[in-house]
């Protein structure tokens, strides 16, 4: 793909992230002005859901099961305090993504000039790698630490369900609907790979400088 198209794609991504940040911050501020936080949507894992058999069409024998064990929690709760957490989340997440995209755009422009092993490349790759790792760590912290702050402001019993944080002990008597904190490793792995690539670029730059000195 031509470099100019890659740079245009990265610029479009930056615009979309910026628009998302402005929209999110605006929605949060409007909600805060009305005395509550913006809507929070969280995935739920329902414990003890009864599986329903799925039968084959031809012979009517079981071929699988239907398990209604996931749900979605939509809340307008938490007040001004939680709204501040939402603003911090939006600012940090979108800020890091903008940094990653802008740095990648600079790196692509630099590589197109035929000078990939310059010290600037190493610094930019490290910046991207550490930013991806920071995003992954914040994602873990947000899914583990932030929902309890939100749930502390609501009645945890909703119908036949008890809404619980991801790390908590189950309570008998009601179906436990636990926050599903899926701790992904994708961004962490990508960040580590890019840091390794940055080290390879650093070594390549040192070897090139050594060869030029010999010549």
How confident is the model at residue 58, as a pLDDT?
A: 81
- Rounded CA gap, 116 and 202, in Å? 10
Instruction: Check whether 215 has a pLDDT greater than 60.
Output: no
Residue 141 resides in a domain: yes
Residue 12 has pLDDT above 90, yes or no: yes
Residue 124, classified by CB atoms within 10 Å of its CB into exposed (0-12), middle (13-18) or buried (19+), is buried
Instruction: Name the least confident of 37-46, 75-84, 167-176, 202-211.
Output: 202-211
Query: How does residue 192 score in pLDDT terms, banded at 50, 70 and 90?
Result: very high
Domain that holds residue 178: 41-74+115-214
Is the model more confident about 118 or about 209? 118
What per-residue string of b and e applies to 74-96 under the rule 16 or more CB within 10 Å gives b? ebeebeeebbebbbebbeebbeb
Instruction: Establish if 91 belongs to a structural domain.
Output: no
In a domain, 143, yes or no: yes
**Domain assignment of residue 50, yes or no:** yes
- 21, part of any domain: no
Is the pLDDT confidence value at 206 over 80? Answer: no
Domain contains 150:
yes
Specify the DSSP class assigned to residue 39.
Answer: P
209 falls within a domain: yes
Structural domain includes residue 139? yes
Instruction: Give the residue, 211 or 28, on which the prediction is more confident.
Output: 28
Q: Looking at the 3D structure of the chain, how many domains does it have?
A: 1
Predicted confidence (pLDDT) per residue in 61-94, tens digit: 889 999 989 999 998 887 888 888 889 999 999 9
């Amino acid at each position: 793909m031509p470099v100019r198209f890659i740079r245009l794609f990265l610029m479009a991504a930056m615009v979309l992230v910026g628009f998302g940040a402005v929209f999110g911050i605006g929605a949060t501020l409007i909600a805060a002005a009305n005395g509550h936080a913006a809507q929070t949507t969280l995935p739920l894992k329902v414990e003890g859901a009864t599986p329903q058999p799925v039968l084959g069409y031809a012979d009517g024998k079981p071929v699988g099961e239907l398990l209604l064990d996931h749900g979605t929690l939509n809340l307008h709760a938490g007040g001004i305090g939680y709204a501040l957490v939402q603003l911090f989340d939006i600012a940090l997440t979108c800020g890091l993504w903008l940094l990653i995209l802008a740095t990648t755009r600079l790196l692509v422009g630099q590589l197109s000039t035929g000078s990939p092993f310059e010290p600037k490349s190493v610094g930019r790759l490290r910046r991207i790698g550490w930013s991806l790792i920071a995003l992954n760590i914040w994602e873990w912290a947000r899914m583990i630490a932030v929902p309890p702050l939100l749930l502390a402001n609501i009645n945890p019993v909703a119908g036949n369900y008890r809404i619980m944080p991801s790390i908590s002990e189950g309570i008998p008597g009601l179906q436990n609907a636990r926050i599903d904190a899926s701790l992904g490793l994708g961004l962490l792995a990508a960040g580590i790979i890019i840091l390794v690539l940055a080290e390879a670029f650093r070594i390549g730059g040192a070897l090139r400088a050594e060869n030029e000195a010999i010549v």
